[in-house]
Amino acid sequence: MCNLHDRHTPRVALEGRLRHCPQVITLGVRPNFMDYDPAERQMIRAADVVYYPSSLYADLLDAMGKRTFPSYHTYKFAQDKVKQTALFQMAEIPHPRTRVFFGKRQKSTIADYFSLPLIAKISRGSALGKGVFLIRTAEELERYCQCFSPAYIQEYLPLDRDMRIVVIGGRVVHAYWRLAQAGNHRTNLGAGGSIDLSPIPQAALDLAETTARRCRWDDVGLDICRHDGQYYVLEANMKYGHEGFRRAGIDYDRLMERCLLNGEI
């Protein structure tokens, strides 16, 4: 097992995602860099890659020219639907028709762009299917606009399932269907959805890898749906759950160890 006195530069992580990997020293995320002792600070500076640096240190290490895994770009888009949508549109990644409306004047024009029903979401910080609303009436839309800003509005695609596709180091490592409960528009497991391990279409797997590559995300769970014969990327999850791995009999910790030893991350 690696230790602070190894002759070779050890692999260093801050967050705990690789804590079960004996080839990695996990230091933890300290609120102040000087909270690390001198040997730990030197390890971070000398490391070829700092694994799971946290949102606190990812941009700092990037500014120093230090490579991280996941990439600095992966952290920049975590739980930010506004930025994700803008990037999907710029990178020409198929995505449901979406607009963001700031302030009362812009919000008053939502009906000019979308018909009811529509999907409204909390634009930043939400996860696990929370903060996703199916808006059926003008009154519901008004209440949403009063409570949340900016208004993140998306066309409603009637779906009873979507796909969670996890891409690590540029390749798909796991994929499965998520099925919505009857009468529920959300497929998230935390919202009552269930897992189906039936095969995922190759076109969806290809779209996931293309999306991760274009967006420079190297550890991401992508939610992808099929509607009227077209595949769409719904959103990206940088802190995805592991239940889908467990259901498939995949040991996530051993998977990450293999990726590390194979030089994929």
Domain spans of the chain, in order of start: 11-69, 97-155, 161-261
| CATH number for the domain whose boundaries are 97-155 | 3.30.1490.20
pTM (predicted TM-score): 0.91
Q: Are 134 and 185 in contact (CB under 8 A)?
A: yes
d(CA 167, CA 240): 11
Asked, colleague to colleague, whether 97-155 and 161-261 share their fold, the answer is no
Q: Hey, what amino acid is at 87? A: L
Fold of 161-261: D-amino Acid Aminotransferase; Chain A, domain 1 (3.30.470)
- Give which of 16, 40, 76 is closest to 215, Cα–Cα: 76
Q: Is the peptide bond before 150 cis (omega within 30 degrees of 0)?
A: yes
For the chain, 265 residues long, give each residue's pLDDT as a single digit of tens: 333 334 456 799 999 999 999 999 999 999 999 999 999 999 999 999 999 999 999 999 999 999 999 999 999 999 999 999 999 999 999 999 999 999 999 999 999 999 999 999 999 876 665 789 999 999 999 999 999 999 999 999 999 999 999 999 999 999 999 999 876 777 877 767 899 999 999 999 999 999 999 999 999 999 999 999 999 999 999 999 999 999 999 999 999 999 999 999 9
